[in-house]
Amino acid sequence: MAAFGCTMTPTLRGNQTERATMRSEGQSRRVSLALTALVTVVAATVAVGQQAAVNPGNPFTLEDFKAGDQNREPYQRATDVLHALEVTSGARVADVGAGAGYYAMRLSEMVGPEGKVFAEDISDAALRWMNRRVTVFTLRNVEVVRGDIDNPKLPADSLAAVLIIDSYHHFAQPQPMLEHILQALKPGGRLVIADYSLRDHRTRSRADQLNNHEIDPELVQREIEMVGFHVVRRDDPFLRQIPEAKESRIGAADMWLMVAVRPK
């Protein structure tokens, strides 16, 4: 679920397997947290662990998904995040690190039947839940995409916008990921990234930020500008920490938002 929820620098040492494991495990932790929260909402009287939360044999209904999605507005300003994409009817867009698919579902409505949403993830659990959401909500204009750790496998030069929410910090190889995203956008297309960080943590190493599921927006801006994006907006914070929201990412850190464009 691209919402509740580690990234590596381009100079990360280690072999391909180590990097793949890092993004995969990071994505799995984020998805497990999100789905555990979803289960808690709809079955508060049942002790549900992370394994049960991602069990494909426990399919959620429409009402279950709605219950789990209900805190997106107060805890993520979901509508404001989506408005930053400036998406119009008929557009082709992507949600990278889509998780269980809340934002892909919202984008599906925004682009309408003539548009297309590519919902990308690399986690088996996330892909199962995304496919389940597509079925439950009859999202005919959503295509679920299994990406790689260095390539989201999006069509080239075809997208009006790409969203990465609570997922950038999971990227094991941000440079090739960003290069592929840049190539997938049309000239003038928008990239919106939202993630979490406490200011006191920003001087810490990338690994320490990873352990806290955080990423410094200054670091992210340098990385996206390095591959050719032009940053046009940075809200830091976009939403301040809400300590009482213990089941959500906003309970642990501030949320920031960044908008960049592919130059024309």
Q: The pTM is what?
A: 0.80
Q: Using 50, 70 and 90 to split pLDDT, how confident is the model at 135?
A: very high
Task: Name which residue leads in pLDDT, 61 or 204.
Answer: 204
Report pLDDT for 18.
40
Q: Using 50, 70 and 90 to split pLDDT, how confident is the model at 55?
A: very low
Residue 85, classed as helix, strand or coil, is: coil
Does any domain span residue 220?
Answer: yes
**What mean pLDDT comes out for the span 64-93?**
94
Report pLDDT for 206.
82
Contacts of 2 (CB under 8 A, 6+ apart): 95, 97, 98, 99, 101, 102, 103, 104, 163, 164, 165, 166, 167
Q: Reply yes or no on whether the pLDDT at 53 is more than 80.
A: no
Does any domain span residue 8?
Answer: no
Task: Name which residue leads in pLDDT, 69 or 92.
Answer: 92
Does any domain span residue 10?
Answer: no
Report pLDDT for 59.
54
Does any domain span residue 4?
Answer: no
Does any domain span residue 9?
Answer: no
Q: Using 50, 70 and 90 to split pLDDT, how confident is the model at 9?
A: very low
Share of the chain above pLDDT 70, in %: 78
CATH value at residue 225: 3.40.50.150
Report pLDDT for 196.
97
Give the count of domains, the chain.
1
Does any domain span residue 1?
Answer: no
Does any domain span residue 246?
Answer: yes
pLDDT 10s digits, 169-221: 999 999 999 999 999 999 999 999 999 999 999 989 888 888 889 999 999 99
Q: Reply yes or no on whether the pLDDT at 133 is more than 80.
A: yes
Q: State how far the Cα of 1 lies from the Cα of 45, in Å rounded to an integer.
A: 23
Contacts of 3 (CB under 8 A, 6+ apart): 34, 72, 76, 99, 102, 103, 165, 166, 249
In sign, the C-alpha dihedral spanning 159, 215, 176, 29 is negative
Report pLDDT for 62.
80
- Domain encompassing residue 25: 16-261
